[in-house]
Structures are given as structure tokens and as C-alpha cells.
Amino acid sequence: MGAGLAGTVLAPATGLVLFPLHEDVTSGGEEFVMVGDRAQFGVVPRRVEIFADRKDAWNRVTRVRIGAAFVAVKGGTLSAFSTVCPHLGCGIDFDEESSCFKCPCHRSSFDLEGAVTEGPAPRGLDALEIEDRDGSIAVMYQRFRQGVAQKELLG
């Protein structure tokens, strides 16, 4: 009788603890995130930090930094690029003097449109979806596979 009683209590508890191992339970960061007013952005790309709420089976954490992007507005056109280098994932900087994006790790360079101009990067900077919502800029932050020629979304 003791074993039956223990099983009645332990079976649901074990299932609850093991649930995240076979289900996709982490979410957050799959939506557009507001990054500022349109008036804050111009031709020179500006770096913005991207925060989102994340939750898994046990926790909900608000405003977790999930990445960063370079945002610019040029001739009425919005652009956003990930700051992650498509070569091996180092952080990209924007060099105002030469007006290009540079990766300090293996010296890849990218022009204002994100195209590779120098170095081993196998593709241009990863463009992110961007929207103007009544004067507020929203960016969809996503991560992409590094070291490959085609832009490939990581799940």
C-alpha cells in the first residue's frame, strides 16, 4: 500500500520535473521589440540593445538582453543589422571615420548596406526585420548560423 501511495505522489511530480526535457518550453524574444523613436535615428547607424521577456517551465524573467542591432534611417528607408559577425560570431562595431562596419576578430569589413568589403566573413551582415509604428521603431531580433554563405535562421 505504501508503494502505491508513493507512486501516486511521485509519478505526477516526476512528469512535471521532466516536462521541459521533451517539450519546447522556452519562449520570448520572437516578437518585434521597440527600440526608440524614429527621430533618434539617422544615416549613421546607431547601436541599440534589444531586451525581451523570457519564460520557461519554471521562470519568467523580464527585460533580458537578447542581443543588439545597428539601426539607421536613410532617405526614408529603415535598416537594421545584427551586431553578430556572420563569420564566427564576434561583436561588430561601426567605425564612423571610415563609415563602415568592422569586426575586430578577423578584420572583416562591411559597407553601410551590410555587404562584405574585406575579410573572411562568408556573407554580409544579417539584416533584421524593422518597422515604423507611428513614429516608434520596432526590430525583430533573430540569430543566424555563423560561418555559412547563406543566411540561415537558428531555431
Interface contacts to ligand FES, rule CB under 6 A = 85, 87-90, 103, 105-106, 108, 119-121
Closest to ligand FES by CB, 42 or 91: 91
Instruction: Give the bridge partners for 153, in sequence order.
Output: 144
* Least distance in angstroms from the C-beta of 126 to ligand FES: 12
Closest to ligand FES by CB, 72 or 102: 102
Closest to ligand FES by CB, 34 or 88: 88
Closest CA to 89 of 115, 68, 71: 68
* Least distance in angstroms from the C-beta of 118 to ligand FES: 9
3-state SS assignment for residue 10: helix
C-alpha 18/C-alpha 27 separation (Å) is: 18
* Least distance in angstroms from the C-beta of 105 to ligand FES: 4
Closest to ligand FES by CB, 47 or 106: 106
DSSP letter string over 37-60?
EGGG--SS-EEEEEEEEEE-SS-E
C-alpha 26/C-alpha 144 separation (Å) is: 18
